[in-house]
Amino acid sequence: MNWREFQAKQRVMEIGERFVSYIDEGSGDPLVLLHGIPTWGYLWRDLIPSFSGNRRVLIPDLLGFGYSDRSDRFDRSIARQAEMIDAWLEKLGVERASLAAHDIGGGVALRLAVFFPKRVTRLSVMNTVCYDSWPIEAMLQFGHPETYRKLSASTALTLLKKALKQGFASKPSNELMDGLLAPYSTEVGKLSLIRNAAALNTNLTTEITGLLPRIRIPTRIIWGEDDRFQAVKYGERLAWDIPGAELVRIKDARHFVMIDKPEEVSPHLMS
C-alpha cells in the first residue's frame, strides 16, 4: 500500500478545535498503534493485515503529524497527545484498548498507562522514549525555530531521509521512505515537524519515573537491540520499573524494529 492509498483510508474526528486523522479497520478487541517522530500512522502499514482479522486496529496520526491537524497554533507535547488520545477514544466509544507504541508514541502510551489507567488493557512499547533518553541531538537541532528559515522543505526532507535511514538495520524501500516523510514535504509540513521537534520534552517522561511501578497492566517492552537513537539500557530500566513487564530483545534490528523484523515483532503485539 503506498502512502496515498493509506491516506485515502483515513477517517477523521474533531477533538475540540483540532482534528485527528486515523485508520479504523477490523473488528474485535481494540488495538491502538501509536507512531513516533518523524513518522505518522503509515509506519504501521505492513502490520495492519496481521491484526485486522481479529482486532479492531486504530491508528491515529498524533497532533501535528501525518495528516492530522498541522496548523501552527497548538501544543504538541506528549502530555497533550495523551489527553488527545483519551478524548479520541472516548468519542469513538472505545472504553478500553491495548496500546502498541513506538518512539515518542511510547512516551504517550506510558503517560496514558499512568494517568488514564482505566483506558489501557495492555501495553507494548517499542524502542520508546522514556526517562532522559530523549530528545536526541538531531531532533533538538531540528526543533530550533530558525530551522524554518535556514532549511527549505526539500533540503529538510533530504536531511531527514538521511538521518532516518540510520534507524533501520534493513534497507527500507524508497516507497516506504517517501511515504513516511510525505506529510513533511511542504513548507507547512516542515514547519509542523519543527514544532513537533520543539515539543520534545524530557520532563514529561522524568515526571512519571516514580509512577511507573504503579502500572498494573500486562506490559511488554520490545527493543531493536542495535538502536542508535534509543539505547536498550532504557528498555532494561523500564522492564525493571514496571511490575511484571517483559523485555523482548530483537537482534539485528534498530530503532524501526517493526520494519526491520515484522515477523518477530507482530506475535508479541498479538499475544
Partner 1 sequence: MRLSKPKPIAESDAKGEVERVYHEITQVLRVSGINLNFRTWAGYGQFLPVMWDAIRANLETRIFEDAADQIRAEAVRMAAQLGRVDVGSRLSLGESQSYQIKKALDLYHYINPKLLVLTSAVRLALIGQQFSGATQIDFDLIERGVPAHMYPMEMVSDKPDDELVKNTFKDIRRTLSLPSINSDYRTLALWPDYLATGWSGLKPIIQRDEYRQATDELRATAGKLALTLPYAIDISMEKIKEIGENEEVLEKTESFETLLPGLIINIALLEFGWHSPEALSCSPFPAERRQDAREAIGR
**Which residues are at the interface with partner 1 (CB under 8 A)?**
7-12, 17, 19, 21-22, 67, 70-73, 148-149, 152-154, 186-189, 191-192
Which is closer to partner 1, CB of 6 or CB of 234? 6
Q: Judging by DSSP bridges, how do beta strands 120-126 and 97-102 pair with one another? A: parallel
CB of 157 to partner 1, least distance (A): 11
Q: Minimum Å distance from CB 35 to partner 1?
A: 16
Give me the sheet containing 18-25, strands edge to edge. 11-15, 18-25, 55-60, 29-34, 97-102, 120-126, 219-224, 246-250
CA distance 242 to 240: 6
- 137 DSSP assignment: H
H helix runs in 70-146, sequence order: 78-92, 104-115, 137-142
Cβ distance to partner 1 smaller for residue 85 or 238: 85
Which residue number, 48 or 126, has a Cβ lying nearer to partner 1? 48
For residue 215 the three cell numbers come to: 502500572
Residue 12 or 140 having the CB closest to partner 1: 12
Compute the least distance from the CB of residue 97 to partner 1, in Å. Answer: 20
The CB-of-63 to partner 1 minimum distance in angstroms stands at 13
Nearest approach, Cβ of residue 264 and partner 1 (Å): 32
Beta bridge partners of 20: 13
**Which of residues 184 and 229 has its CB atom nearest to partner 1 in the complex?**
184
Distance in Å, CB of 179 to partner 1, minimum: 14
Among candidate residues 12, 61, 25, the one with its CA nearest the CA of residue 189: 61
Phi, psi for 217 (deg, rounded to 5): -125, 155
Q: CA 125, 206, 78 angle in degrees (round to 5)?
A: 60
Contact 78, 39 (CB under 8 A): no
CB-based contacts of 186: which residues, under 8 Å, 6+ apart? 153
Between 67 and 256, CB nearer to partner 1: 67
Q: Which is nearer to partner 1, 187 or 207 (CB)?
A: 187
* CB 148, min distance to partner 1, A: 6
Q: Least CB distance from residue 183 to partner 1, whole Å?
A: 10
Rounded Cα distance between 160 and 179, Å, is 13
Q: State how far the Cα of 39 lies from the Cα of 83, in Å rounded to an integer.
A: 20
Nearest residue (CB) to partner 1, 131 versus 148: 148
Query: Cα–Cα distance between 37 and 40 in angstroms, integer?
Result: 8
